[in-house]
């Protein structure tokens, strides 16, 4: 019988930061078998993110053997993050401040920020 999945102390902060910039976040930590903790969608891209607690000693935040196998076999994007800022950089946002400046700048120029899925196109549904 599989035990309950461990959630890193900083995962909720990371999820909140990602959602604050408009990313969709699906927690996957309960999947197990080395699967990363989060699936993140942002600006038409998907990111698999493994969360590690940066306050732990480096030896305590190493990937488990199952995680190493998953990362090795995965054919898409996968990253390991320690902080909310790390997670934002993974999806292409340098910081909350940078995103705010981008949004404010776009409001003054009339350009739209591609921060939500509604701004992306799906070639399967276009005719």
DSSP string for 66-114 = HHHHHHHH--S-EEEESSHHHHHHHTT---HHHHHHHHHHHHHHTPPP-
Residue 120 has pLDDT above 50, yes or no: no
Write down the pLDDT at residue 6: 79
Largest Cα–Cα distance in the chain? 57
What's the whole-number average pLDDT of the chain?
81
Residue 104's pLDDT band, with cuts at 50, 70 and 90, is low
Contacts of 109 (CB under 8 A, 6+ apart): none
Contacts of 14 (CB under 8 A, 6+ apart): 38, 49, 51, 81, 83, 84, 87
Residue 28 has pLDDT above 60, yes or no: yes
Write down the pLDDT at residue 90: 97
Model pTM score:
0.73
Write down the pLDDT at residue 121: 38
Residue that is written with structure tokens 């999947």 in the block: 31
15 three-state secondary structure: helix
Write down the pLDDT at residue 18: 96
Write down the pLDDT at residue 125: 39
Residue 105's pLDDT band, with cuts at 50, 70 and 90, is low
């Amino acid at each position: 019988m599989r035990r309950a999945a461990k959630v890193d102390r900083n995962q909720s902060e990371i999820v909140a930061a990602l959602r604050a910039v408009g990313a969709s976040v699906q927690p996957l930590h309960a999947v197990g078998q080395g699967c990363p903790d989060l699936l993140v969608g942002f600006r038409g891209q998907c990111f698999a993110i493994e969360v590690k607690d940066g306050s732990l000693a480096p030896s305590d935040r190493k990937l488990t053997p199952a995680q190493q196998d998953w990362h090795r076999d995965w054919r898409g994007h996968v990253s390991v993050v320690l902080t909310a800022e790390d997670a934002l950089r993974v999806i292409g946002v340098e910081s909350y401040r940078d995103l705010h400046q981008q949004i404010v700048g776009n409001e003054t120029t009339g350009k739209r920020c591609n921060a939500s899925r509604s701004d992306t196109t799906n070639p399967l549904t276009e005719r």
